[in-house]
């Protein structure tokens, strides 16, 4: 593989085994790993986000993990600017960048470009999020289509984040978000990307999620959330959306039991994985789907697809 002309994109639902596969791929192709997960950028939360352990980071260089404080906003635009430079830097060093994560919007921004949309005032953003919370995604999507019929062509009914984004852009500018997105240009030719998605069976994934949640609590998830709560992070910031924070907060406040807390985190993680699969069906149709219960076979599949 010519390192100067390729970027490996490795996506998949949470707990699907991306990190392990990425390390073996990096050994094979003289690669380095770059984070493409929006919740793994946060410095203070490593257990709940399942950040790769130090022993893995010592085997292969990892970039963009745990570098942004939970107190500061971090957007897809911020990530894209940093990652474009990081890819060029790795190419210059004759390394193959391997982007690993579960945030579909990060991958889409990299491969398709990101629309330069005007800044949305907090007041309007909060009003729209309040409306979404009151009526739910199904009704909100119908309201969006009335406001911006063009959205129906580009948005899945289940995509709540982008639905809210489209609604706020239309309200502010009276133009469809998808007028802005038509003007976007990616930073790289699409031919440089080798796109892999770990398409693990749902039943097996659910078992892995259950084990992961148990491990999080053994590793100190409660203490991690208690430290986060003492920081008094603004509730509007995205770091509050990390699965486990609000659930453990309720446990710490004695509003629920430990058993119920663990079960709720398992449920919300399964729901998140389901949304990741939905995103993949809608936005990753041309990615290479790989899976095997045998790791050696999975690795062979990945190498065959990127060669």
**For the segment 130-139, what is each residue's pLDDT rounded down to a tens digit?**
999 999 999 9
- Alpha-carbon span 174 to 168, nearest angstrom: 9
Comparing 98-102, 104-108, 116-120, the range with the smallest average pLDDT is 116-120
| CA angle at 193 for the pair 191 and 194, rounded to the nearest 5° | 115
Residue 161: give its domain's CATH number.
1.10.20.140
**Whole-prediction pTM value?**
0.85
Q: Is the predicted pLDDT of residue 182 greater than 80, yes or no? A: no
Residue 131 in any domain: the answer is: yes
Based on the fold, state whether residues 193 and 261 are members of the same structural domain.
no
Based on the fold, state whether residues 107 and 13 are members of the same structural domain.
yes
Residue 220 in any domain: the answer is: yes
Residue 173 in any domain: the answer is: yes
Based on the fold, state whether residues 103 and 9 are members of the same structural domain.
yes
Q: Is the predicted pLDDT of residue 52 greater than 90, yes or no? A: yes
Residue 235: give its domain's CATH number.
1.10.287.890
Based on the fold, state whether residues 168 and 96 are members of the same structural domain.
no
Domain extent at residue 212: 204-274
| Beta strands 288-290; 31-35: pairing state | unpaired
Based on the fold, state whether residues 239 and 302 are members of the same structural domain.
no
Phi first, then psi: give them for residue 99, nearest 5 degrees. Answer: -90, 125
Phi first, then psi: give them for residue 237, nearest 5 degrees. Answer: -75, 150
- Alpha-carbon span 57 to 19, nearest angstrom: 10
Whether residue 33 contacts residue 26, with contact meaning beta carbons closer than 8 Å, is answered with yes
- pLDDT at position 1 is 42
Based on the fold, state whether residues 22 and 147 are members of the same structural domain.
no
Whether residue 199 contacts residue 290, with contact meaning beta carbons closer than 8 Å, is answered with yes
Considering only residues 226 and 115, tell me which one the structure prediction assigns the higher pLDDT: 226
Considering only residues 115 and 202, tell me which one the structure prediction assigns the higher pLDDT: 202
Confidence category of residue 211, pLDDT binned at 50, 70, 90:
very high
Based on the fold, state whether residues 222 and 267 are members of the same structural domain.
yes
Based on the fold, state whether residues 197 and 213 are members of the same structural domain.
no
Distances (CA, A) of 154 to 47, 178, 179: 35, 8, 11
Based on the fold, state whether residues 148 and 196 are members of the same structural domain.
no
- The pLDDT of 115-119, averaged and rounded, is 80
Based on the fold, state whether residues 40 and 103 are members of the same structural domain.
yes
Q: What is the pLDDT of residues 259-299, one digit of tens each?
A: 999 999 999 999 999 999 999 999 999 999 999 999 999 99
DSSP string, 196-247: EEE---HHHHHHHHHHHHHHHHHHTHHHHHHHHHHTT--TTSGGGGSTTHHH
**Which residues lie across from 96 on neighbouring strands?**
31
Residue 279 in any domain: the answer is: no
How many domains would you assign to the chain?
A: 3
Based on the fold, state whether residues 195 and 52 are members of the same structural domain.
yes
Considering only residues 160 and 266, tell me which one the structure prediction assigns the higher pLDDT: 266
């Amino acid at each position: 593989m010519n390192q100067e002309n390729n970027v490996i994109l490795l996506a998949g639902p949470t707990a699907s085994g991306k990190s392990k596969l990425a390390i073996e791929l990096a050994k094979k192709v003289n690669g380095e790993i770059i984070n493409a997960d929006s919740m793994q950028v946060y410095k203070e939360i490593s257990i709940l986000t399942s950040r790769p352990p130090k022993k893995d980071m010592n085997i292969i260089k990892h970039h963009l993990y745990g570098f942004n404080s939970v107190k500061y906003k971090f957007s897809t635009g911020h990530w894209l600017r940093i990652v474009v430079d990081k890819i060029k830097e790795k190419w210059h060093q004759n390394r193959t960048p391997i982007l690993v994560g579960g945030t579909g919007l990060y991958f889409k921004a990299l491969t398709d470009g990101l629309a330069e949309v005007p800044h949305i005032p907090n007041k309007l953003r909060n009003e729209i999020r309040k409306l979404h919370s009151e009526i739910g995604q199904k009704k909100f999507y119908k309201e969006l289509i009335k406001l911006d019929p063009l959205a129906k062509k580009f948005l899945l009914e289940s995509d709540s984040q982008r639905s809210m984004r489209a609604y706020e852009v239309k309200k502010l500018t009276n133009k469809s978000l998808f007028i802005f997105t038509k003007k976007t240009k990616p930073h790289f030719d699409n031919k440089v990307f080798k796109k892999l998605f770990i398409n693990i069976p749902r039943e097996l994934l659910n078992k892995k999620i259950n084990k992961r949640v148990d491990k999080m609590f053994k590793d100190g998830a409660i203490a991690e959330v208690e430290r986060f709560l003492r920081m008094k992070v603004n509730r509007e910031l995205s770091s509050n959306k990390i699965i486990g924070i609000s659930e453990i907060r309720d446990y710490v406040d004695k509003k629920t039991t430990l058993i119920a807390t663990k079960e709720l985190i398992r449920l919300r993680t399964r729901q998140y994985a389901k949304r990741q699969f939905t995103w993949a069906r809608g936005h990753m149709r041309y990615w290479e789907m790989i899976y095997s219960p045998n790791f050696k076979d999975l690795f062979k599949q990945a190498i065959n697809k990127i060669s």
